[in-house]
Amino acid sequence: MTAPDPLLIELRDVRKIFTTDEMETHALGGVELEIQRGEYVSIEGPSGSGKTTLLSILGLLDTPTAGTYRLAGELCSGLSVRESARVRNRQIGFIFQTFNLIGDLTVQENVELPLTYRGMPASERRDRVVAALEKVGMAHRAKHLPGQLSGGQQQRVAVARAVAGSPPLLLADEPTGNLDSHNGDQVMALLQGLHQGGATVCMVTHNPEYARHATRTIHLFDGSIVDETRRGPA
């Protein structure tokens, strides 16, 4: 069996322009980026530097105006909406600042939902949900609704949902932004553990302390990568 390519993400001259009737906004300008499997990368920069746009393109939630994006060797920059959804469901796990849990579904059902779109057998879905909830310490809350949980617990469920499908890439957009410091530290510890278990993590954060959890930090300014910092294993 051929080993997977160590290069997971490859961006070449990626540009993003938002156009209105009155003006053009150049959100990204010629971004060149490679991320290897197993890296933990944080993306830093001031407001308006292009962090969210870059993460949206990495997550196939948006498309570049120009340039190419390959994920696990597959060219993604020209995919249709349906094809993007297929790749996203199988290759990418998302952890958002606002949790994005469905209020009238239980914890178990929230974690299981993305797996149903794959046509995965029910028995396998159940096993994956149980394993994911145990990993984040939320198995005892499987039958609860999101509204019955604290913010920190909801984010743990969101992490479980992201990892249940064993995606090669985890994208975290300000994952501690709505949490107090205690719960934020716990979520960061979860991400650290997932990385140490082999996951590739790419995170946007405004917290410099949390950014230092990553082994590599990319610095954005005015839509371009202006610097990066590498660290040893955290």
The confidence score (pLDDT) of residue 117 equals 87
In CATH, which superfamily holds the domain spanning 38-62+81-230?
A: P-loop containing nucleotide triphosphate hydrolases (3.40.50.300)
H or E, element range at 108: helix 107-116
Lowest mean pLDDT among 1-10, 57-66, 77-86, 194-203: 1-10
128: Cβ–Cβ under 8 A, 6 or more apart, which residues?
Answer: 112, 115, 120, 164, 165, 166
Q: What is the pTM of this model?
A: 0.90
Structure letter (DSSP) for residue 211: H
Question: Over the stretch 144-157, which tens digit does the pLDDT of each residue have?
Answer: 999 999 999 999 99
Residues ≥6 apart with Cβ < 8 Å to 57: 11, 14, 16, 28, 63, 64, 69
pLDDT band at 1 (very low <50, low <70, confident <90, very high): low
Distances (CA, A) of 203 to 48, 89, 95, 132, 213: 16, 18, 9, 20, 10
Dmax (CA) of the chain: 54
At residue 158, the pLDDT reads: 95
Domain edges within the chain: 38-62+81-230
Q: What is the structure's pLDDT at 231?
A: 84
Tokens of 214: 């990553």
pLDDT in tens, 10-39: 999 999 999 987 889 999 999 999 999 999
The DSSP annotation for 55-72 comes to HHHHTTSS--SEEEEEET
